[in-house]
Structure formats: structure tokens, C-alpha cells
Structure 1
Amino acid sequence: MKFETRYKSHHNSSGVFSKYYPPKRLGEEILINKLSEEPKDVPRVIYVHTPYCDKICSFCNLNREQLSGSLDSYAEYIADEFEKYGQYRYFKERPVDVIYFGGGTPTVYKNNQLEKILESIKKNIKLSEEYEFTLETTLHNLTDEKIETMNRYGVNRLSVGIQSFSTEGRKFYNRTYAKDETIARLKDLKDKFNGEVCVDIIYNYPDQKIEDVRSDARTVKELDLGSVSFYSLMVHEGSALSQDIKNDKVKLEDNLRKERELHNTFVEELTSDGDYYLLELTKIAKKGRDKYKYIKARSFGGDTFPIGVGAGGNVGEITIFRMKKEMSMFVEKNEHQQRLDRLTGLFQFPRVEKKIVEEILLENEKKAFEKIIETLKGADFIIESEDAYTLTEDGVFWGNNISREILVRLVEATLEK
């Protein structure tokens, strides 16, 4: 088995089922009925999307736009959504484990807008005792006032979009502040914020050197950060960077050897002393610190209730897409899809317990799965032990391809003709 193109995100598997199963559209009343029932005992996430940034990264064309006016109406809309859905049994009778604000940049709100949203959450949502409450953020739009507000309302995790500590890298990504100022502001944030501070790093920008990623990893350790997400640069069509490439102003090195070397160097440097470990394909955490419950809940069959324009998630078998304030799409996933989603979610982690796989798969699926595992073992992507499947170094690098390959082969092998 050999992969020619590397998938860099778990989202690359998301569209696979549509090839095999025509989407079954549902009406909103089906979701309302579901929310009115006694809630199931599964991990529960609320994902809140803020599709606005005050500064756009050079590579980005995600579901966001540059802020050009007030966010008063959008903040009111988000607060009202918590008020609206918080009245159902789904939220009244069982606490939520995780709240995750993504974007865009959720800290782009003014402090009074942020407080309005957080106050609505406090009034309408019960959180579990060991909840995780994350806001994605940048350094330049955080203020002491916003930090104090987040502390007061129980936000306990920040994910900071650093992308690179290198001054050259930060210029490339259109990030604010050079290296020294970035480090100083992170230290100040750690002093003032009551929760865990985590960062994102993006590697494989043009002309990036091995020493650059090694330095990024060392800086993470020196700052004693809770975790770091690390992704290979993905150039989105329509971004400023993609246009530069078309105009031959920027030439990305489409070189898997370099990408792998940068990836492996970062992982090895950060985990070499044993304080940090590979939690997930793109996440390295400090032992005993960041739990990253958000991705665990999503990958292990939990619910993700979406709020905000551009948000997506699910309640049980109902998949939900929030396209506009007053427009959502609801699609049903059958039992087969749900189980295989759970299976491929497991392979976002470097070690997969066999007993969990056996609980998910039916007998005919197990036979097909065993054939896939043998192929992956033959390619030196997986090591099998008595109780687990463990990804090798190459397996981690190709992890999203492996997850997608398992899904495609299992669907094709077991789909009823």
C-alpha cells in the first residue's frame, strides 16, 4: 500500500458516505422531538461558530469573513440560541461535557458582546463537574478585560492561533507580532488566564528549515504550554496565498520528503524528554495537563450540538448544518454510518484498543476489517499487539489517509448490494 497524496485533516473522510448513501433529509421537527426526549448517556459537546476575524491569515478561506462592522446582532443571535435550546430536556436533564468556540476568531467580540453570550450559557446550560470550555483566539485581540470576563464565566481553555514562532513564518502567515513579542504575550496570558493555554502550529511553509520546527517545539516546552496542535500547511482555494501561487509569487514545495521530515522532527523534539506525548494525530499534550475532551467526545461517538452560522454537528443519528441564522439542514445517518464513523474516529489516535473495535463492528465487518489491518501492517503503518493496534511513525504521518482508507474499504466490502 502506498499513498501518493497526503490528507492533512480528518475532514477528508467526511464526504465519503455521500458516494454510497443518498442523503436522507429531515425536517427540524425531528430534531425538536429528539431534544424533547430523555437524553442518552453519551459525551456531549456544544460547538459554537463565529465566522468573523479582524485579520485574515494568508492561507485561509474557511467559513469566515473579515469583520467590517458591529457584532451586536450576531452576539444577540448566539445568546438567543442558547436561550432557545436550553429549554429542552436534552439540556435541562443532563450536563454538557464540552463547549468549544471555533471560528473565525471567537475573541473578536467586544467584551460586552462576549459577556452577553457567556451569561446566556450560564443561565441555560448545565456543565459537568469536569467540563472543558474552550475559545479559539489570537493574541492581538485579547484584552485584560476579556481575559477577566472569561475567567469569571468559567472558560478554562484557550487555543491560540500562533502558527509559527519564527518571525519569518509569522510574516508569511500574516500574523501580528514578531517572535519575541509573541512569546512575551503568551507568558502574560498564562499569568492572567486561570485555565489551560494551548497553541496551534502550522508547518511546511515555503523555505521553512528543520531548525525552525525544532525551535517551535522547544519554545512550546519552554513556555510550559498545555498542548500544541500541529498541521501541515493547507492552501485553501480563494485564499490570498492561493492567488499568490497562481501569480507565481509564492511557490510551495510539494515535497512529501520535506513535509515528513518537518513533521517527524517536530514530534521527536517535543516528545523526546517524555513530558509531552502524542495524544491524537495532530495534537501533542503535556502529561497530566490538557485532556482535549472536545476531540475525544467527537471521535468516540458523542453528540456535538452546533450553534452559529457555519456550525455543524449531530444529535444521535441527526446531522445538523447551520447555513444561515434562520436556515439549517438536517440529515439522517443510518446505523451503519454511525458505527463506521465511530471506528474511523478511533484511528485519529495513535493507539486503538481492540475491545472497542470489536464492540463497534458486526461479524461480517470484522472479517473485512481484519483484511484491511493486514494490508496496513504489511505497509508498516500499524503494529498489532494482543490488545491494541498502534500506529508506527509512518502511520501517524499518514494517519488521515489510513482513517479514510479503512472507511472506504469497509463500506465497499460490507455495503448491501
Structure 2
Amino acid sequence: MEIIFEKRMKSHHDVGGILNKYLEKKIVTESDLMEFLNKSPENIPRAIYVHTPYCDKICSFCNLNRKQLQGSLDEYSNFIASEFKKYGKTKYFQERDFEVIFFGGGTPTVYKPNQLEIILKSIQENVSLAPKYEFTFETTLHNLSKEKLDIMMKYGVNRLSVGIQSFSEEGRKFYNRTFTKEETIDKLKKLKEYFKGDVCIDIIYNYPNQKEEDIKEDIKIIKELEISSVSFYSLMIHEGSNLSKDIKNEKVKIIENLEKEKKLHDIFIEELCKDEKYYILELTKIAKKNGDNYQYIKVRNNGGDTFPIGVGAGGNVGNISIFRMNKNLSFFSNISNLHKKFSLLSGLLQFPIIQKNEIKKILDKKEYNYFLDKINEFKEKKLFIENEKSFIFTKDGIFWGNNIGYEIVKYIVEKVFEK
């Protein structure tokens, strides 16, 4: 295997560091946000992201904005409901439909049924959804119940994203998952039979001692269950996670092996897509044909708005970036047009096919030539192929996709700022 980059980037979030280095954000206030929200909204795709920073069980690899649940979530569920009521009075909410609502976490199904109903009823009263909307809850299998599913379906939830990570017994033990392989398969079968919507899962590959047979078995199960889509990520060691602490304390040994990581990645793509029932929707997402559409990522990566609600939620509305620190404190900043331009470029580079006309819409002639400089460099390394209308990631390009996106944006930004 040719090593094209010294280290593989496993997330596209590093691009934000480049933009923040050169493009200063101006601090604004909640009054500025409310002034914007009380104007008629633009005709662009829009999502609402709701964050639940609580889990009843912490996965070994996770360092996300969450904490172990202790006590009741009555106060927090009432807070989320009140946020929808507050913002639901604005023109931004009243005058246009939203395409997407996404509940992330944490574990959003950690709420009790009555708490879920309080939140979802407030959404129903304050949010209008587009005819072909997508309404997602991230979840684990162990805290789903028919009662919760009934409430979610009653209020229009039509997509579940289930944190499976691995079906193998060894993998599930490593990730601190709740059920055995057979229990997990059985529960997913029953969930698919009962839930009226898309059931999607996450898979995290490249855990210690994972064998090729393990990932092939995961794929076999995914196909048999007809899962609507799969997010697949290589294991990342996040500072602050239980896994990172175990590594420091020498309870777990992780050996970086790019060749093994690439082999597992390629097997996953090839085996899942070979009968053409599944296709690569985004660099880390494979979807079933006529299955999951993953509108949330399309809104985010195509320059739409993401309105954040809940402690730990972040997003952007127009040219205003928002991050919710706690119930009483949020940070607001103004995003320059240049920042939006290069964020959009970064988003478009997350898809396996990059349409030339879409890139030309956002970059001026000089910037587009800089873009071509890097594309041609990566074409020589067989990371892209080109046709009349598009640039298409090769299998190797998809593996190195986050590095490629980072290098392209970095190159253009530094050329623009003559650095």
C-alpha cells in the first residue's frame, strides 16, 4: 500500500482550524440573533439539531459532550420544550418549513416516555416540517421501548440511528456495548419490524485484534437485516474517553497500523457495495438504494442552516454561528462570507462525486484554478478520476478523503491570504 499521507485524518472537522486561523469571527449577541430570526427566512435548506448531553451508559471510545445520567431529566426536557416555544414565535420558525430535525447526544432516547412527549409535543406546536422531512433520533438498543417508539412515531420521527459499533462479541466487549451479538441481531430485527421508518446503524472498525472475518460478518448481518444505511468510522482515540485513560494506564495497547486499517476499510466498501444494493452516499456513509437519504448531512454540507437547541449544541443560522454552553450561556459570532465559502467547499468534498459546476458556483476563477492545482496533483496519485462534469473519488481517495479535503481547502486559503 502506498502511504500518501503520514497520518490519516479520520474526521473532516480539522478544516475548521484552517478557517479560524485566517478568518476572524466577530462576536455578536443574542439580540443580533433574535433580530435575524424576526426577518423572513431565506429560501435555503434548514435543519434543527437538538442535543441531549446525557447517557445511561458511556461507551469506551466516546468523549462527546455528554455525562452519565444521574437523577431525572424532567428539568432538561422542560427546558428543551421551552426553547422551541421561545424560538417558535419568530418569523424564522413560522414562515418556512424545516427539512430536518436531528436529535443527537449523548443518547436522546434516555428520556422517559412522558419527557419525550413533552419535547415532541412542543416541536409539533412550534415547527412546520417540509412534506419530505427527515426526523432522526440517535439511540442505543438498550434504552428503546415500544412505548417510546410509539410516542416518537406519533410525533413524526421517521429515522433512527442506532449505535451498534460492532456485531462481534470481542468488538462489543471492547466498545462496552450492552448485548451479545445474537441479542443485538434479534433486537434490530424486532425494531425494523415495529418502527415505521429508516433504521440506520454506526459501525466502528479497526479495534484491536479485529480480523477480516469480523468485518465480513458485520456486512453479512447488515445485508440480511436490510439496514437503511451504515456510518463507518475507523476507531479514533479521543482525549478524555475511557479508552484514552486505559491506554495511558497501559490497560489497553493500541498499535497504529495503516495497512490493516486500509484493508478493513476497503473490504467494508467492496463487500457492502458489490451487489449494487448499497452505494457510497458520503465518505463515511453507505446507504441502501431507495433507503436512507441522510438529508441532515446534505443540509449541513451544502451550505444550509442548522439551528442548535440544547446544552452542547452548535450550528449556524445565516451568518451567525451559535454554540450553547449551558442553559443560560450561548456564544454567538458572525461568520464572514469567505468563511462560509470555504466551509461549503469543505462540505462538498465530503461527497464521493464532486460536481464541477457546484465548485464553480462558490469559487472565483483564481480560486478554482488553485482548486484544480490540488485536484490534478491528487489525480496523479490515483485518488480521483475525472469526467466531463465531475471529479470522482477512487477507493483510495475515499480512504484518504479527509486528508484530501483538508489539503485542498488549506492550499486555496493560504494562496488567497498569500501565506
Match of 1:311 in 2: 313
- Report the counterpart of residue 188 of structure 2 in structure 1: 186
The amino acid across from 1:152 in the alignment is K
Q: Counterparts of 2:325 and 2:361 in 1: how far apart (Å)?
A: 35
Between 12-21 and 125-134, report the one with greater CA deviation.
Answer: 12-21
TM norm structure 2: 0.98
2:204 aligned to 194, 202, 217, which one?
Answer: 202
Match of 2:392 in 1: 390
Shift in Å at residue 218 of structure 1?
Answer: 1.1
State which drifts further: 16-25 or 134-143: 16-25
After TM superposition, give the deviation of residue 416 of structure 1 in Å: 6.6
Identity of aligned residues (%): 59
Tell whether 2:73 aligns with 1:44. Answer: no
Measured in 2, the distance between the counterparts of 1:371 and 1:239 equals: 39
| In 2, Cα distance between equivalents of 1:314 and 1:286 | 30
Gaps of 5+ in 2: none
Within a 5 Å distance, the mapping from 1:137-286 to structure 2 comes to 137-286=139-288
Give structure 1 regions of 4+ aligned residues with deviation exceeding 2 angstroms.
Answer: none
> Which sits farther off after the overlay, 8-17 or 261-270?
8-17
Q: Which residue of 1 aligns with 2:24?
A: 22
The whole-number CA distance in structure 2 between the counterparts of 1:39 and 1:212 is 49
Q: What does residue 84 of structure 1 align with?
A: 86
Counterpart of 2:47 in 1: which secondary structure? strand
Listed as ranges, the gaps of 5+ residues in structure 1 are none
Q: Where do 1:52-131 residues align within 5 Å?
A: 52-131=54-133
Question: 1:275 & 1:334 partners in 2: Cα distance?
Answer: 42
| Coordinate RMSD, CA, aligned | 1.1
CA contact (8 A) 2:137 2:159 kept: yes
The residue number in structure 1 matching 2:15 is 13
For these two proteins, the number of residue pairs brought into alignment is: 417
Cα distance, 1:415 vs. partner?
2.3
State the alpha-carbon separation in 2 of the partners of residues 179 and 375 from structure 1. Answer: 44
SS at match of 2:179: coil
Contact 2:25 2:336 in 1 (8 A): no
The DSSP-based 3-state class of the residue aligned with 2:207 is coil
Measure, in 1, the Cα distance between the counterparts of 2:319 and 2:262. Answer: 37
**C-alpha distance in 1, partners of 2:367/2:31?**
34
CA contact (8 A) 2:52 2:104 kept: yes
Q: Counterpart amino acid of 2:257?
A: N
Aligned partner of 2:402 among 400, 404, 408: 400
TM-score, with length taken from structure 1: 0.98
C-alpha distance in 1 between matches for 2:324 and 2:137: 19
